[in-house]
Structure 1
Amino acid sequence: MPKKTPAAQQPVARVLPLLGVAHLDRGFDYLIEEADSDAAQPGVRVRIRFNGRLVDAILLSRSSDSDFSGSLRYIERVISPYAVYTPTMAALIESLAARYGGVRSDIIRTAIPARHAKAEEADITTPWEELGTAEHPDLSAWSSYQHGESFVDSVLTGNIARAAWQIAPRSDWAGALAALGASVALQGGGVLMVVPDQRDLDLLEAAFRRHLSAKQITVLAHSTGPQARYRRYLSALTGQARIVIGTRSAAFAPVKNLKLAVVLNDGDDSLVDNLKPYVHTREVLSTRSAQEECSLILAGHARTAEAQLLVESGWAHDLLPTPEALEAARPDIVAVGAFGINLARHMQGGTTSVSGPAFQATRAALDRGEPVLVQVPRKGYAPILACGQCSSPARCRHCNGPLGLPSVRGAADGAQDSAALPTCRWCGRVDAHYRCSECGSPRLRAIVLGSERTAEEMGRAFPNTRVIQSGGSTVVDEVPAGPALVIATPGAEPRVAEGGHYGAALLVETGALLGRQDLRATEDTLTTWAAAATLVAPAAQGGAVIVAADEQLPLVGFFSRWDMVGAAAAELQARREVRFPPAVHMAAVDGADAS
């Protein structure tokens, strides 16, 4: 092996090994060979030998000497000449690591995609303007919001404007964001928008394509392959990608001259990274807004306690619909209590009752030739069962896990579908001869109804009506504008074709949402209800939302008035009283007693 010669200028490199170990999350000194000197610049990825094995590392800096008194190893090689770890990225990752008590290498693995050699051969130098033709969009949609026009003016003039945007019912949120984003890009600014899932991303991309060419929109989604992801990352790094939209990981895209950052539905669980330190997209973009001095929009039909805290602190401001716009857009919302929509729960039979306002709204919508949305929190048939005689929870005789009927699809075809029988949700065993351990009864009733059972019962309550199911592994994106009952789980509600709307929405099994043992139960419930209500026709056109919940509940009152700010303020105040986040910061340390 030929002898290596240190670089003539600044031969010492300080590198950060990407090991994911807290006590090794610091710089180590290595030597740079003269042959690698030009490529080994701060921010590039390198390969080093650490503790006898080859690992990836980030080159942090170069210097003329080292504080280490021993002999230094050479960097094995420079993986790529692209400086993917820019000073801006370094500041962001260091801030997030300090905030979350994590290690930089864990966040780097999430933020920077793996290198793909083929991607580096692609064209990433053609200016954004030459990638296609663009049209100046219409920004009039923002005039329906209080101070909306002045907010848009602030963003376009380069001022820092931060807002919690409460999207009005029936509002084209994707169109409004795309118009603003395209306007910023046409003035030379960078735009970054992050949404929770692929359905929202498809809507946003389609809205952008009304103003821009496809190549002028950079999409980073969960489904993006490794080569395309790395190429698009480099496109943003070099300044070619001026508009980046995507799901969670897109929050770290190195958009140059960033002027506008947007996160949609920041309370959605999918915006939290599933690897430690579990960084939230909202925190990534709010940190970038502070460090890169760009405008920020926290958008959603509802509002989280975290967004409300930012507003109350003065760091962000309200962006609310005008009273006139809200009144013209929102449907009539009526709470009918748990018995207003009473679905049969006994597995051996029963009667479903849809009475009063629920029946009237449903029948009126169907008679007008409009579909009716029925939102059910759980998929499957009957996820949780109990004894039909004494109401004791139905338990597995093998592991004592809860019994349920996940699905009955396929049983009607004559096949022996094991899921049509009581099945343990823990061990998966089927109990074909169930008897209650308390009273010995073989009868079963559902504690929680799934979308399949709800579809059956609603079909019986409204015979000769088409029933469409959307949820689980079968999500319907769009339904025709004719009369139908559309049974959907949260997040799987189909849009009505040709820009249509639902004539009514029934929100059933609300106890499954409100009764969750979760800090965000009320937030998530309101978000789920609002997502359904915004698909319904305005009250002036007969649109109605029927909530099967007690009208005395504060959350139901906020929803009935469409007071999302009031709900968020009440939630934040409740957390202040019991000293829960985000009113206070909490940390938990787990470990063995001996440690």
Structure 2
Amino acid sequence: MARVLVDTPLPHLDRPFDYLVPDELRDDVHEGCRVKVRFAGRMVDGFVAELVEESEHDGRLAPIAKAVSPEPVLSPAVITLARAVADRWAGTLSDVLRLAVPPRQARVEAQPSGPVDGDLPQVTDDGWQLWPQGPAFVAALAAGERPRACWSALPNRDPARAMAEACLATLHAGRGSIVCVPGVRDVARWDAVFTEVLGKGRHVVLTGGEKPAERYRSFLAVARGAVQVVLGTRAAAYAPVKDLGLVALFDDGDDLFAEPRAPYPHAREVLLTRAVQESTAVLVGGFARTPEAQSLVDSGWCAEIVAEATTRRRAWPRLDVTDGSVDGGAPARLPHEVFKAIRAAEGPVLVQVPRRGYRSSLACQACREPARCATCSGPLGQAGPSAPLACRWCGTVAADWACPACGGTTVRATSIGHRRTAEEYARAFPDREVVTSGGDTVLDTVGHEALVVLATPGAEPVAAGGYELVVLMDTWLMLGRDDVRVVEESHRRWFNALALARETATAIAVGDPAVLQALVRADPTGLAAQELADRAATHLPPIGRLATVDGDAETLAALGARSWTPNTEVLGPVPHEEGERLVLRAPRREGAELARSLQQVQAERSAAKLTPVRVRIDPLGF
């Protein structure tokens, strides 16, 4: 008999079911393979979780209808992980398995995954020399130990090389590694470094953006044990690595690590769960540090790998802060300090602009009233110098716009995007090439020539040899967003931009010096500690557990009156987008119980054939 994990979206049926294995399929049905079974009157896909001698079911068992493939693509370790992830985020096992196992490609499955020839390169720790604890961490990995660390990376020291050296040391101990980075642009850069350090063919890349055949080929190489090192985006967190010895994550604050599909897990928490279940080493790194990473350090679960203060200050570019004003006058769009520094620069200059587009926010020139759409009351914007005014929500063109407050017909920009800023810089520096990176056009790299690169946060290209000058424009605009994590997220993007500078580079931030002291001191860990303390005061994650439930008003009113955990706070319901939202906040120790209660809600509604509510636990917006 076979215990089958059936692919069903119904929460009240989120459990394995027993099926008979027909005699003609005994040679093809293995633990972890794909099968088809009849379930609820229709044929559905499933995975064989295990083969058992007896069933706990008293009735007659249905037979497995078809063995789709004898290939064992779902390992027991990944099943255990998927179950834990589903329970942690109040989801179903089938939803998690869709994230963990890519679709089958029959032609790829028929091809072998050969082992890599040749000896492993010798273990090196060259990429860790600036950190006093770094060489010892690598040595511990090579010795088969399981150290856990939060690592504060530095500019001009490629984090990809340090991570690759950690993976190489883990390979020498006979164990594998998973390394997750935010996006495919990062994977492309890190892939070349991993190949150089580990040797060709010793790692695979797993991302959701790969072609299906390539992704499945890489997945099979890992599942078959031919390759033990996986580099990828959040999709790689579930890779079935044999003898997993290290899970690593870089820049864990990036929202790309948050899965946009149910049950909305975060790759950092998935990897930490694996580390506990499979007893692996842990490495969480970044140029900035999140409150979640800081909580691991404060609890003693992770050690710190940080450079000494003098080394850290020498590595980061010297930062000056200006509010853009001169002798008490109004702030200038292009401050004199920035103008003078760009003029003096002989190499590439990076200018980070908070908003993409041209003129993304407009107001009446006469009375300063925000310019709104007459159709839906959305904000008006302008996509280009010759483009008409149009609504950013519904796209309606406002050809004959007039201010309803004063009747004025002229608008001014209250928020300028990177394309409009590029026009201003081109006029100010006619002898320099000005290029943009953001929106639909993102540059990966630029040369070492004296050009000005205007980029939105996260779209900064890497310059050959590093940038001579980094300018952070309009920092007040990034801090003005309505987001609980606005300080953390803004500083993460600023630190990442500053990390692209070359040695002895300088930097200028346009904003309030009082709120940018973490940048001035080059102290991301101090900022993370302060952010964690603020979250402790408000009982927000990672100190507490927080769940949002979206649905209609009647349903949420009933859930608001429901009994949850002993110390759960019920906030709302409040209006939210197309419906209403209920917020549940509980102490961390009651998080598992709260998740179980939310799973029970979904199961009850599923059994009663009611519309499901949308549940998210610890979403990034809190």
Q: Find the counterpart in structure 2 of residue 95 from structure 1.
A: 84
Name the residue aligned to 1:354: 335
Q: CA deviation at 1:137?
A: 5.5
Looking at structure 2, the residues matched to 587 and 212 of structure 1 have their Cα atoms a distance apart, in angstroms, of 42
Give the 3 Å change call, closer, same or farther, for CA 375–590 of structure 1 in structure 2: closer
User: 2: CA distance between counterparts of 1:288 and 1:334?
Assistant: 42
Select the residue among 24, 30, 41 that pairs with 1:41: 30
Which letter maps to 1:521? V
Q: 1:581 aligns with which of 534, 541, 545?
A: 541
Q: Give the C-alpha shift of residue 297 in structure 1.
A: 0.9
Give how far 1:17 is off: 1.1
Asked if the contact 1:339/1:548 (under 8 Å) is kept, the reply is no
Deviations 1:264-305 (A, max 9, x none): 111111111111011111011111111111111111100111
Question: Runs ≥4 in structure 1, deviation > 6 angstroms?
Answer: none
Listed as ranges, the matches of 1:561-576 within 5 Å are 561-576=521-536
Q: Find the partner of 1:208 among 191, 194, 204.
A: 194
Residue 251 of structure 1 corresponds to: 237
Which of these residues, 460, 469, 472, is aligned with residue 427 of structure 2?
A: 460
**2:380: which partner in 1?**
403
Partners of 1:354 and 1:461 within 8 A in 2: no
2:62 to 73, 76, 83: 73
Whole-angstrom distance in 2 between the partners of 1:480 and 1:86: 45
* RMSD between superposed Cα atoms in Å: 2.1
Alignment of 1:186-205 (within 5 A): 186-205=172-191
Contact 1:576 1:583 in 2 (8 A): yes
Residue aligned with 1:219, SS: strand
Distance (Å, rounded) in 2 between the aligned partners of 1:352 and 1:86: 57
Match of 1:442 in 2: 409
CA contact (8 A) 1:160 1:295 kept: yes
Distance in 2 between residues matched to 1:212 and 1:63, nearest whole Å: 41
Residue 388 of structure 1 corresponds to which residue in structure 2?
365
Q: TM-score when scaled to structure 2?
A: 0.85
Separation in 2, partners of 1:437, 1:231? 60
Q: Which residue of 1 aligns with 2:477?
A: 512
Q: Normalising by the residue count of structure 1, what TM-score does the alignment of the two structures yield? A: 0.89
Aligned mates of 1:196, 1:393 — CA distance in 2: 36
1:127 aligns with 2:115: yes
Give yes or no for the alignment of 1:545 onto 2:499: no
In structure 2, the partner of 1:527 is: 492
- Distance change in 2, residues 1:284/1:551 (3 Å): same
Letter in 2 for 1:404: G
Counterpart Cα distance in 2 of 1:60 and 1:488: 48
How far apart are 1:133 and its partner, in Å?
A: 6.3
Shift of 1:583: 1.0
Aligned-pair distance for 1:138? 3.6
- Residues 338, 550 of structure 1: 8 Å contact kept: no
Q: What amino acid is aligned across from residue 547 of structure 1 in structure 2?
A: A
Partner residue of 2:298? 312
Q: Which residue of 2 aligns with 1:171?
A: 157
Q: Aligned partners of 2:182 and 2:384: how far apart in 1?
A: 27
* Distance in 1 between residues matched to 2:334 and 2:189, nearest whole Å: 37
Within 5 Å, give how 1:226-305 maps onto structure 2. Answer: 226-305=212-291
Structure 1 contact 44–85 (Cα < 8 Å) conserved: yes
Letter of the 1:362 partner, please give it: I
Structure 2 CA distance for partners of 1:41 and 1:213, relative to 1, 3 Å: same
Unpaired segments of 5 or more residues in structure 1? 1-11, 346-350, 412-419
CA distance in 1, matches of 2:123, 2:507: 33
In 2, Cα distance between equivalents of 1:312 and 1:204: 30
Task: Specify every segment of 5 or more residues in structure 2 that has no aligned partner in the other structure, as ranges.
Answer: 559-622
Q: Secondary structure at the match of 2:261?
A: coil
Instruction: State the shift of 1:475 in Å.
Output: 1.5
Counterpart-to-counterpart distance in 2, 1:478 and 1:548: 25
1:559 aligns with 2:519: yes
Cα distance per residue 1:43-73 (max 9 Å; x no partner): 2221011122111112223334434343322
Shift of 1:211: 2.9
Structure 1 353/140 Cα, relative in aligned 2: closer, same or farther at 3 Å?
Answer: closer
Q: Which has the higher strand share?
A: 2
Identity percentage of aligned residues? 39
* Matched AA of 2:350: L
Measured against aligned partners, the alpha-carbon deviations of 1:236-277 in whole angstroms (never above 9, x if no partner) come to 112111211111101111111112211111111111111101
What is the alpha-carbon distance in structure 2 between the residues aligned to residue 513 and residue 289 of structure 1? 35
* Equivalent position of 1:8 in the other structure: none
* Letter of the 1:381 counterpart: Y
- Residue type of the alignment partner of 2:228: R
Rounded to whole Å, the distance in 1 between the matches of 2:442 and 2:119 is 34
State the number of aligned residues: 554
Contact 1:136-1:211 at 8 Å conserved across structures: no
Q: AA paired with 1:397?
A: A
Distance of aligned partners of 1:35 and 1:261 in 2 relative to their CA distance in 1, 3 Å threshold: same
Tell me, yes or no, if the aligned pair for 2:418 and 2:455 is still in contact at 8 Å.
yes
**Distance change in 2, residues 1:215/1:141 (3 Å):** closer
